[in-house]
Amino acid sequence: MYGFEFFEVNSFEQLCINFANEKLQNFFLKTVFDSEEKVYKEEGVPWVPITYADNKDVIDLCENSMNGIYKLLDSECRTPNASGKSFCAALHTAYGQKHTVFGAPKLSKKEQRTADEYFLVRHFAGEVIYFADEFLGKNNDSLAAEVEGHLLKSKKAIVPEISKPPEAPAPAANAKGAKKGGQASFSSVGDKFVKSLRALLEELESSQAHFVRCIKSNPELKPRVRFVGLESPLIASDWH
């Protein structure tokens, strides 16, 4: 669909990739099951409702406007002296240990990762343990105040346009770019990513989607090897 990442150490990038996969997986499920059911009913074809696993809980966990992971991350980024540990603590405080898709690594002789630095998300494709240490730095897309000020005063119209703070109009060429107190406005990578995903899904939902089923030709994934069980004498290369 989009890719699913689960490494020894999973950080902000993996959350973004896996969240995008969740959104596209949800779109796929909705299109395949809900849309097909609608077509069957419209054409009078007998239809037996199919129960399928949904991933709305994971999506809500990530992008909830009140206390979703990205929202809490932005809040921590705006908090003085915040750290990966404080961000992780905020998540565990908000969701606790009994949440359906959120939790902490279960400590054992092999598992030494603790809840003060790690959190677990039960994705549609499997559980992923995230290391919170670098989330704040990777989420911060802000410019230094003096840099932002110079860019906003540029006489090239495109420079202030692409450098303006979020949800703020571009100032005139002779306006003061630096904020009071010498601080630039906070710009969030996560917020931009979530909005970009929403725009993508809106475009997909407004179109007529079609999906192509990919077939693994044989368990060994090698050419010219027969797939045991095929009725016809096709060789693996015929499926590529």
**How many other CB atoms sit within 10 Å of the CB of residue 130?**
23
The total number of residues shown for the chain amounts to 240
Residue 30 has pLDDT above 80, yes or no: yes
The tens digit of pLDDT for each residue in 145-201 reads: 788 788 888 999 998 888 776 654 344 344 343 344 444 467 899 999 999 999 999
Q: How far is CA 215 from the centre of its chain?
A: 27
The tens digit of pLDDT for each residue in 75-104 reads: 999 999 999 999 999 999 999 878 999 999
What are residue 55's phi and psi, to 5 degrees?
A: -125, 25
**How many other CB atoms sit within 10 Å of the CB of residue 11?**
18
pLDDT confidence of residue 219: 75
Domains of the chain: 12-139+188-205 (1.20.58.530), 145-182 (no CATH), 215-240 (no CATH)
The tens digit of pLDDT for each residue in 132-155 reads: 999 999 999 876 778 878 888 899
Model confidence, pTM: 0.73
Q: Provide, for the chain, the percentages of residues in helix, strand and coil under a 3-state DSSP scheme, each rounded to the nearest 5.
A: 45, 5, 50
Find tokens 């039960």 and name the residue.
Answer: 122
Residue-averaged pLDDT of the chain? 82
